[in-house]
Amino acid sequence: MPQRKESPTQRLTRLALLTALALIIFVVELQIPDIVPIPGVKLGLANIITVYAVYHYRAGEAFMILLVRILLASVYSGNISALIFSLSGGVLCLLGMVCIKRIIDEDHIWVSSVAGAMLHNIGQIFAAVAVMGTWTVFGYLPFLLVSGGIAGTFTGLSAQAVIKRMNKKNKPTDSN
């Protein structure tokens, strides 16, 4: 989506705002108890911000939001050991969504979200295989893909709802 001309400061502010939003969403999600006690199964609500950023900002900028969010999130959650899994999953997810963006338009953003969530799970599993030094954990993949598919649909639909409202709000005044 080509945006109106923005000053670098405006851009920086928007990116910082999105990162902060992603972190808030992440912290709120931390309070939700695990539904399924399988490592890697979660809603991943912060993905809403990632999909939005992929469609509204340059790939590099979306990547910066993702990176800062993951690094700070692992500090907030106190679970640094999970960092490598979030990183590998997040990067693969972002790469996939940047590619899929060329095919899927913004009206079907939930499809990108699902693909991204599944790619996130695939990245996580490969990180787990590397860390654990065994292919055993690969057996988790089908479970993760199912949960990722459901979670991705949910976050994608949320993103779609948010974008719809923002477009409505931005249209009449066009001030921000």
Partner 1 sequence: MDNKKQKLVIIIIAAVFFISAAVSAYMLLSDKGDTVEIISGGKVLYTIDISREPDREIVVEYKGRKNVIAIKDHEIYMKEAECPDHTCIKTGKLSKSGVPIVCLPNKLIIKYSDNGSEGDVDAAA
Q: Which residues bind partner 1 (CB under 8 A)?
A: 34, 37-39, 78-82, 85, 100, 103-105, 108, 111, 114-115, 118, 128, 131-134, 136-137, 139-143, 145-146, 149
Closest listed residue to residue 90, CA positions, set 131, 132, 44? 44
Residue 16 or residue 80: which is nearer to partner 1 going by CB?
80
38 and 143 Cβ atoms separated by less than 8 Å: yes
Residue 17 or residue 130: which is nearer to partner 1 going by CB?
130
Q: How far is the CB of 25 from partner 1 (least distance, A)?
A: 20
Residue 66 or residue 118: which is nearer to partner 1 going by CB?
118
Q: How far is the CB of 134 from partner 1 (least distance, A)?
A: 5
- Break the chain down into helix, strand, coil percent, rounded to 5: 80, 0, 20
CB proximity list for 98: less than 8 A, separation 6 or greater: 54, 59, 62
The token pair that represents 130 in the structure block? 């590397």
Residue 20 or residue 39: which is nearer to partner 1 going by CB?
39
Q: Which DSSP category does 36 fall into?
A: S
The token pair that represents 52 in the structure block? 């939005």
Q: How far is the CB of 68 from partner 1 (least distance, A)?
A: 22
Residue 52 or residue 140: which is nearer to partner 1 going by CB?
140
Q: How far is the CB of 154 from partner 1 (least distance, A)?
A: 14
Specify whether the backbone of 63 is left (phi greater than 0), alpha (psi in -120 to 50) or beta.
alpha
Q: How far is the CB of 12 from partner 1 (least distance, A)?
A: 31
